[in-house]
Amino acid sequence: MEKLLGKTGAGARWLLEWTRSIVVALFVWFLLSTFLLQAFHITSGSMERTALVGDFLFVNKLLYGAEVPLVRTHLPSIREPGHDEVVVITSPIEDLVLLKRIVGLPGDTIAMSDGRLVRNGHVIREPYITLHTDAPRLDSATREQMRTWQSPHLVSPPASSYHPDSRTWGPLVVPSGSLFALGDNRDDSFDSRYYGFIPRENLRGAPLFIYYSYDPSSWHALPFLTAIRWNRLLTRPFRAP
């Protein structure tokens, strides 16, 4: 009986230690994923060539101030975002997390003329963007949506004669506490041109590096094992030149 009780006690201690280890590991994982690092999976082509469908990357959540769960506040940021940085944001119109490039900061005057980005009167060199041979044709409802939200922020021309499209719009002034972000694959990106400015608090973090990548369009069996993009592993294609 004493031997049996001894074995039972040892088993209980082992179970307690095992449970404690699991709880500590989960707690550490929760802290890391909430305030420091988070994994992100690219599922759309809006940032090609910078980020490809099938890329998996880590996001630095601490840089711009991680959100504290439940209380709707943020930790202090290490620094503010800069021009042409690639960031992870929460969409202002739907429950989606997006990867975009910041092209406008508070106080900037931004515009686009025939696909060329103009910021504060200067044409911006953007070697990372992709444009189709022909500009996409927007339906009348989409163009009206663009005109409606952009008109109050116009510098010129008068709102009554303003008819923006995907490659020509503005100039607009970015208001305080807001950002203007575009996808690098300009003709296949749903971004600030269509839904407006992004509140600063929607900024989730900055991508660090690609830790895994595969081609999901591959016809090979098990493409996540047989179609690995080895040349993209541990790379950082997000830095603006």
Active-site residue numbers?
Answer: 46, 100
Residue 139 has phi, psi (to 5 degrees) of: -75, 165
Element holding 10 (H helix, E strand): helix 2-31
How big is the chain, counted in residues?
241
For the range 164-167, what are the long-range contacts, defined as Cβ-Cβ under 8 Å and sequence gap of 24 or more? 164/193, 165/135, 165/138, 166/135, 166/136, 166/138, 166/193, 167/112, 167/114, 167/115, 167/135
* Residue recorded with tokens 């400015």: 197
Q: How many other CB atoms are found less than 10 A from the CB of residue 130?
A: 17
